Structure 1
């Protein structure tokens, strides 16, 4: 009887940990109803060793687009930076975040 109770409790704990771990890696999907404004032209600073420049982009915030200026990303050796971008899907615009590939 005690063993069954222990196994049941252990199963509940494992299921709870798995649920929390799964939700921690969930991606936030950002969708805007209209196209972003044209990209702003920014002056790119001189190259920095160990960093990659990530161009500025429009972000959707509180029902409107807000400019997010470019910034440096710490370089990941063996990878290249794929910048984020907006994609038209199903009558709306979806933000595809930048990532290392």
Structure 2
């Protein structure tokens, strides 16, 4: 029985060590560059609702999906103390367009 407990302890330590090395979603950072050969359409006019305490309005933007631009409507997101929101945008990059997703900055 003593050997069985030692094996179980060794297995638990091995699993724990492996789990400790795995990235959690809060630690993972993913950056994907999106390029399009077609300029995005003009931004759509949106009626911005009245301000909401503790929230920031994220304006609508043209995203890229299935080889074409798709509109994403504006929406409210919970404010982050000490940060400001930088909206999504497209910039010309040579003969194509590069997408920069919205993000929070200090």
Q: How many residues align?
A: 86
1:30 paired residue among 29, 34, 41: 34
1:64 equivalent in alignment to 2:68: yes
Runs of 4+ in 1 over 2 A off after TM superposition: none
Shift in Å, 1:30: 1.2
Point out the structure with max Rg over C-alpha: 2
- For each residue in 1:23-57, what CA deviation from the matched residue of structure 2 results, as whole angstroms up to 9, or x when unmatched? x4231111111110010000001111110001001
Structure-2 residue corresponding to 1:6: none
Gaps of 5+ in 1: 1-12
1:43 paired residue among 36, 44, 47: 47
- Give, in whole Å, the separation in 2 of the partners of 1:97 and 1:46: 24
Structure-2 residue corresponding to 1:55: 59
Gaps of 5+ in 2: 1-16
* SS of residue in 2 equivalent to 1:87: strand
